[in-house]
Structure 1
Amino acid sequence: MDIRIAAYAVIIRDDEILLAHWNEHGRSGWTLPGGGIEGEEHPAVAVVREVREETGHDAAVERLLGIDTMIVPAAKRISGSAPLYAMRVVYRAHVTGGTLRNEVGGSSDEARWFPLDSLSSLKKVGLVDVALRLNAEEPADGVPSPA
């Protein structure tokens, strides 16, 4: 079994979410900015790098929202002959600078802000819904409400 660890950012401002359009080997969909960890890179460092590469924005991590895992059967993989264990580390982050632009030469081909209420009509990957659920479970200030 192959293993891939990746880090992704939920970035929401003014009721809009920043998404990247994944387009690879005939498969596509809107997803969170993020991607695979390189070498000994920490996931929090990887997500900042990936946001910059895919969207042009500089970002700062606010908090870890959670970790999601899935197994992709070998027959459903784009490349590789073994099943893939995918670990997706999801952070809440915010934009600190930069200018929105599309990635060149990567697995995403567009970056865009979308109103949150328009997400149901988008062709998106499942990670977006997983991440929004994780984000909704975490209070903005990090302090749980009293019971």
Structure 2
Amino acid sequence: MHTRVTGIVIEDDRILLLDQDTDGPRSYSLPGGKVEDGETLEQALIREMREETGVDVEVGRLLYLCDNVAAHVVHITFEARRVGGQVGAITEGADTRPIREVAFVPLGDLPGLGFSEKFVKLCRDGFPDFGSYMGPKSAIGL
């Protein structure tokens, strides 16, 4: 298994997402990626957020850990706060799948983009069980 970090940045009831091809049915996803050798989780998330969104972040609370057994991935998701950068100023070629758009999407629009109501509720409620191992990604509605 390899480790993947993702960041959840929520501002004014909107969440920062990427529009790109994924392994699943959704084209929108949380920014993040693989932790490279020699990186801490925090360093990896800061690098991935900068490369994929153009946003500089401060890493906050650990929100959840979950498994994607079929893909041999452990997902570790953190709360993140924007501290600089420019939305959409991505690092070209840093990601193997082209990024079509980086946007703050209203939480209410997420079900229409393939996110579950459960995930929307977790975002709105501030992830009340933050820091927990949640099992498979489906347990958080992803």
Equivalent of 1:62 in 55, 60, 63:
60
Larger Rg: 1
Structure 1: runs of 5 or more not aligned: 73-83, 140-147
Equivalent of 1:119 in 110, 118, 132:
110
Structure 2: runs of 5 or more not aligned: 131-142
Give the letter for the 2:109 counterpart: S
Alignment coverage as a number of residue pairs: 124
**TM-score (normalizing by structure 1):** 0.72
Give the letter for the 2:52 counterpart: E
Give the letter for the 1:99 counterpart: Q
Could you tell me which residue of structure 2 aligns to residue 81 of structure 1? none
Could you tell me which residue of structure 2 aligns to residue 48 of structure 1? 46
SS across alignment from 2:64: strand
For 2:26 and 2:7, locate their aligned partners in 1 and report how far apart those are by CA, in whole Å: 19
Q: Are the aligned partners of 1:19 and 1:33 in contact in 2 as well (CA < 8 Å)? A: yes
Could you tell me which residue of structure 1 aligns to residue 11 of structure 2? 13
Q: Which runs of 4+ in 1 moved over 2 A?
A: 24-28, 102-105, 128-136
> RMSD of the TM alignment (CA)?
2.8
Deviation sequence 1:51-104 (CA, Å, 0-9, x none) = 1001101000111112111211xxxxxxxxxxx321001000110001111542
